[in-house]
Amino acid sequence: MEKIQKNVEIFAQLQLLCMFTLKWKKEGSKEFQFRSETEAECQAWVHAISNARYSSLLNDKEQLEQKYLHLSQIVESESTAKWQYSRQCEELSAEVQKLRQEICQLKRQEGRSNHLRLVLAKSAALLEALTRQQQQQQQEPANGAQVVAQQRARAPEARQLAKRTRSRPGRGCRADWCPR
């Protein structure tokens, strides 16, 4: 019986003791209960634990984690923006290349059409000159030797005219614009 009385007294004393509990924010972490004999001791312990270096380190760690999360979001958004800008640059450079090819092709066509106009104009002039000669020959009957001499005299003019109508190499688009 004496043992039961001592246990009851100890239990009564324990109920009179002040208690506090420490819990961490993580799930599944243990819970610690502390007891003291007086309320003043209990308050002193709570104050000492809350001002302990470890709690300030936990606060610093949480702040750093928040900053890291924020900075990682910024880095991710910046890398996404960089990827989009590089994609746009590639598309625009392809468009520029396509436009350069179109310009080169138009210059070639323009050069060919100018060449054709020149050839047509010169051939029209030659045709007109030949028709005048034929008309003169029909109007004035002359002897054969005189006609042959006139044709030989005009032959160098016809050769020079034909040389001028030939295309000139090296004309056309700039080489750095046009793929060959």
Over residues 13-35, the mean pLDDT reads: 72
**Better-scored residue on pLDDT, 150 or 38:** 38
User: What is the predicted pLDDT for the residue at 58?
Assistant: 82
Summary mean pLDDT of the chain? 76
**Domain positions in the chain:** 11-51, 53-165
Q: Which stretch of DSSP H or E encloses residue 76?
A: helix 53-139
- CB 118 within 8 Å of CB 165: yes
Question: Is 34 buried (19+), middle (13-18) or exposed (0-12) by CB count in 10 A?
Answer: middle
Please state the pTM of the whole predicted model.
0.37
Query: How sure is the predictor about 7, in pLDDT bands with cuts at 50, 70 and 90?
Result: very low
**Better-scored residue on pLDDT, 74 or 50:** 74
User: What is the predicted pLDDT for the residue at 180?
Assistant: 47
User: What is the predicted pLDDT for the residue at 99?
Assistant: 92
**pLDDT of 171 above 60:** no
Q: What is the pLDDT of residues 116-168, one digit of tens each?
A: 888 888 888 888 888 888 887 777 655 555 666 666 666 666 666 666 655 45
Q: What is the pLDDT of residues 71-117, one digit of tens each?
A: 999 999 999 999 999 999 999 999 999 999 998 888 888 888 888 88
Matching residue, tokens 């047509």: 120
Matching residue, tokens 């007086």: 38
Over residues 52-80, the mean pLDDT reads: 89
User: What is the predicted pLDDT for the residue at 160?
Assistant: 65
Q: What angle do CA 68, 51, 30 make, to 5 degrees?
A: 75
